[in-house]
Every structure is written in structure tokens, then in C-alpha cells.
A = this chain, B = another copy of it.
């Protein structure tokens, strides 16, 4: 009764080993649930050491063409990451009629289009659940669970490294640098953390999820990306006093037919489900026109959680139920950054002289920005921290006002500006 499925696993690192172990441990359960007997037929890895302790029935190779060219393989699982040779592997596998499962968000976000096209032409599946949100079944929930919804927007905490760092800064009042070092020691940040802390990893995931949410091609380069290196313990503390937490969010909204897509640190209210996402966990809040906000929360990385997502793709594809990427024809239009709307938190350090509040609020008013609240903190040095929370404002006006305020001679340093987001707020309805 069970149907045999032969896997070729390329890359036996943390996730690849996780897939292998998962199939060994839970193979019987998967077979009961799906009627599939999923077997690893061959494993390709450049490190001969990794291949030493495999069961004797598994073919070992360090040449990926032995896998893509093997007619006995149904699904190729690409887990080496990066652009090349991953791109060639996936192309070859699809062209030879195999399905592919990958966790490679960089490749798919930056150069995925050609691969999705080949998959469609050849009638093969290219599964990538593992590329967004690790063990959280977020692509499945979006494309199947919310299939009847127009998607207004989503907001995600999609990078565990930055969320770990921000959590530590919040809990222990650490500086960014100290929290980063802690993350590196605990294995939650790479030796070169640039890719994570500058927001590029979150941007890749935001691009892929947007493509599926809005059924449009997404140009990765159209995303405004800002990392967390400028976030200070001071602002995290002030945010907390006001009832907010600071998170690195991947945000994508459909606004009057245009996509507003960006990655940046943002304040969210402490009562929102995304605010309780701690340490290396990820979460994504999707606002459907029927469901309202749906939030999914879980481990965004790690061998076993990511393997769970890879195996979910394998089982679905082998059952003929993989996710097909469908995008509408026509160019995708993006909301120009200057026309974005949000609330803003602004911290200004000023000399303690009369008339300051009047000048700053005058400048904000001149640019159409309305103030929701102001707090003047006790001076810690010769400078007084002034905290502003604005009502919703247009980004262009806000940046012009900040530019003007930065020029005032009583302002010390630069104004700190952090967007304040309400992930549940419905975007505008897709005009399509």
C-alpha cells in the first residue's frame, strides 16, 4: 500500500543531517499518515567526513551531478545555500524531471524567477517552506489555509539572530555590541553577522512571502532594508515605558494596488502577539480580508525545525500536492518610500534652553505631522532627551521635518527616528 519516494540530499550540514535523522526517527509515522515510504537514496557533500557514518544502503558522493542525473531519484533536496552551485543543481534537477525542495531563500529571492518558470514548464514542484520561518508552516498556511483571502498585509519577525539580540537588549539592558557578542557565543549569530543584522536575510524572506501573498513577481532590490545596528538600549527602554517593544520587522502591505515592502526596526504595542516573540523564535502576522490577523509563531531556524519544513514539502510533493507559485502577469508596482504612512517615535537630545518645544513642534506642524504625545525626560548630561510619538504621517514629510530639526543649533547629534507599526491594521483592499 505504501508508495516509495526516493530522495537525493545535497548538503549534509545542520539541516541535511536533521532531515536524515527525522526520516529515521519518524518514518513509520509519516508512512501511517501519508502512505509514503520516504527514503534517502543518496547524499552529496563535499566533506567526506560527513558521509562516513551513514548506513551502507545510502549512495555517497561529492559530485552533485551524481544526484541530479540519477533516474532513481524523485525529489532532490538542496541544502547547501548560496547562489552557485545551488542554482545549477536546482535547474538540472528540474530539467531532468525531478521535483526540488530547498531552504535557499537567498537564491529564490534574488534569482528564483527562472527556476519557478522551469518548474512550471516541466510540471514539477519547487518547494521552499523551509526558506521562511523555519519550522513554522507559514507558506502552507498562507497559500492553502488563507487561499480564499485577499491578503491586506503581513508583518514578520523573520530573523532569529536579530530577535535574539533585541530580546537580550530588552531583558538585560545590554548594548547592541554586547548582545551581539552574547548571540555569537551562544551560536545564534555568525562570526560575520552582517547578513542577519543588516536585515538582508529578513528581506529575502519578505520577498518570497510577498510573492505568494499577492501572487506577483517581487523584485528583491525594490525592498528598503534597514538593520538593527543603530538601535540603542536607551530607545528600547523608552519604548518599554510607553508600552512598546522594538522588533526587526519584514513588512509588506498592499496599498491601492501598490506594494509597500520594507525591512526595518519598528515599535509594536506590547499587547500584540508579535511583541511576545522572544529570543531566536520567529513569527508572522498575516492580515487576510476574511480572517483578519492570523499569527504563526515558532522556531525559525535549527536542524530539526527546518527539517520538519523540508519533510512537509517532500510529503506534499510526493502526494501530488506541492505549492505552485502563481503570479499574475504585468509589472508589479511598488509604493514609493516617500508615500509610506506610519506613526513615528522620535528621540531628540537638546540643550535645556527656552522655546525648544515650540520650534520642534512648529517644524513638525509645517510638514503636516501631528503629535500624539511628548515626554521630556530628566536631563542625564547637559542634554535633555525629548521623546515624541506622532500620529500617522507620510514618510516624506517626516524625513523633511527631521532634516530641518537636525539643523537646529540646540539639537545634539542626530534625531533618532523609529517607525511605530500596528501589524493588525488592515491595508487597503487590492484593487485588482
Does A320 interact with chain B (Cβ within 8 Å)? yes
Does A305 interact with chain B (Cβ within 8 Å)? yes
Stretch at the interface among A256-264, A283-291, A341-349, A356-364: A283-291
Give every chain B residue within 8 A of A145 (Cβ-Cβ): 129, 136-137, 140-141, 308-309, 312
Stretch at the interface among A26-34, A184-192, A232-240, A412-420: A26-34
Give every chain B residue within 8 A of A308 (Cβ-Cβ): 145-146, 148-149, 288, 290-291
Give every chain B residue within 8 A of A150 (Cβ-Cβ): 25-26, 29
Q: What is the distance, in angstroms, from A281's C-beta to the closest C-beta of chain B?
A: 9
Does A315 interact with chain B (Cβ within 8 Å)? yes
Q: A33-B147, A296-B297 are in contact. List 10 more A-B contacts (CB 8 A).
A: A23-B148, A28-B432, A135-B294, A137-B145, A137-B146, A145-B308, A146-B308, A273-B277, A275-B276, A291-B304
Q: 6 closest A-B pairs (Cβ-Cβ)? A: A137-B145, A148-B311, A135-B291, A294-B298, A290-B308, A295-B297
Q: What is the distance, in angstroms, from A294's C-beta to the closest C-beta of chain B?
A: 4
Give every chain B residue within 8 A of A143 (Cβ-Cβ): 33
Knowing A273-B276, A291-B135, A304-B290, the reply to whether A312 touches B29 (Cβ < 8 A) is: no
A28 and B328 CA atoms in complex are apart in Å by: 12
A375 and B328 CA atoms in complex are apart in Å by: 62
Interchain CB contact under 8 A, A137 and B148: no
Interchain CB contact under 8 A, B297 and A136: no
Does A321 interact with chain B (Cβ within 8 Å)? yes
Interchain CB contact under 8 A, B276 and A135: no
Measured CB to CB, the nearest residue on chain B to A138 is: B145
Does A319 interact with chain B (Cβ within 8 Å)? yes
Give every chain B residue within 8 A of A26 (Cβ-Cβ): 148-150, 289-290
Does A307 interact with chain B (Cβ within 8 Å)? yes
Does A299 interact with chain B (Cβ within 8 Å)? yes
Q: What is the distance, in angstroms, from A225's C-beta to the closest C-beta of chain B?
A: 27
Task: Point out which of A26, A145, A146 has the most chain B C-beta atoms below 10 A from its C-beta.
Answer: A145
- Against B, the Cβ 8 Å flags (1 = close, 0 = not) of A84-104 are 000000000000000000000
